[in-house]
Amino acid sequence: MSSLSRNIRRANSAVRSQALGAGLALALMSAAALADGAQHLVFTAFSDAAGGADVVAGRYDAALQELKTHPLAMNVDPSAIATNRCVAYSMTLRRKEARAACDAAVDAARDERNSQPSFWTQSSSSGEDYLTVAYANRAVMHWLLQDEAAARADLASAQALSPRAAFVVENLAALKTHRVLAEAGTPAPKS
């Protein structure tokens, strides 16, 4: 059983948002599902923001330490920082902190999207991209906390914003696979 993380660079960097898979240690699907090639849920992190390189490398405690020791970075890019914090806390199974960080990521991304000048929002979908990432990550966190209804609701929000985003499509397919397995009587995954 395994999960994946996505590594996204901010849209204003030289490379437009590109998703790169990197393995994470937390299991989300049953062994039988993986043996059959089933898809699994993925987190998305910003590698070029504080804590991002450590998150992608699976060093979650180091990422959280970096996020604590770089307060100036938190003011520059609150959405990316909150997103990386959401992933790190979720992957270390710190439930209370994960929930707060994932909620903060959605709030920060929503605030960033709503505060963009009109010329920026007409020429760029980056605000929606970041909000999509935040909703998708919060959905995975809800899944880890065994709240499938909340996971589905957040994925529906992510899908409404970016229906073709690879991580959204993959997470929707993973939830569908889980539902099929549950209906077939396969044990539900444990967080």
What pLDDT does residue 154 have?
A: 96
8 Å CB contact between 157 and 171? no
DSSP code at position 2 = -
- Domain membership flag for residue 191: no
Examine residue 41 and state whether it is found in any structural domain, yes or no. yes
More confident site: 150 or 69? 150
Find out whether 53 and 42 touch, Cβ atoms under 8 Å.
Answer: no
Asked if residue 133 belongs to a domain, the reply is: yes
Q: How confident is the model at residue 91 (pLDDT cuts 50, 70, 90)?
A: very high
CATH number at residue 57: 1.25.40.10
In a domain, 66, yes or no: yes
Whether 189 maps to a domain, the answer reads no
The reply to whether 65 falls in a domain is yes
13-31 pLDDT per residue, tens = 322 232 222 223 233 333 3
What single-letter DSSP state applies at residue 97?
A: H
Q: Up-side HSE of residue 17: CA atoms within 13 Å toward CB?
A: 20
Q: What is the mean pLDDT of residues 82-95?
A: 93
Q: What percent of the chain has a predicted confidence (pLDDT) above 90?
A: 41
Torsions phi, psi for 23 (to 5 deg): -70, 140
Q: Mind giving me the DSSP string for 22-91? A: EEES---S-HHHHHTT----EEEEETTSTTHHHHHTT-HHHHHHHHHH-HHHHHH-HHHHHHHHHHHHHH
pLDDT tens, residue by residue, 176-190 = 887 776 677 665 555
More confident of the two residues 116 and 142: 142
188 in a domain, yes or no?
no
pLDDT band at 101 (very low <50, low <70, confident <90, very high): very high
pTM (two decimals) = 0.74
The number of domains in the chain is 1
> Using CA atoms, how far apart are residues 14 and 57, in angstroms rounded to an integer?
22
pLDDT at 69: 78
At 104, which amino acid appears?
A
On whether residue 106 sits in a domain, the answer given is yes
Q: What are the E-state strand segments in the chain?
A: 3-8, 20-24, 42-46
- Kindly tell me if the per-residue pLDDT of 67 is higher than 80: yes
Domain that holds residue 135: 3-183
pLDDT higher for 40 or 190? 40
Q: What is the DSSP letter of 190?
A: P
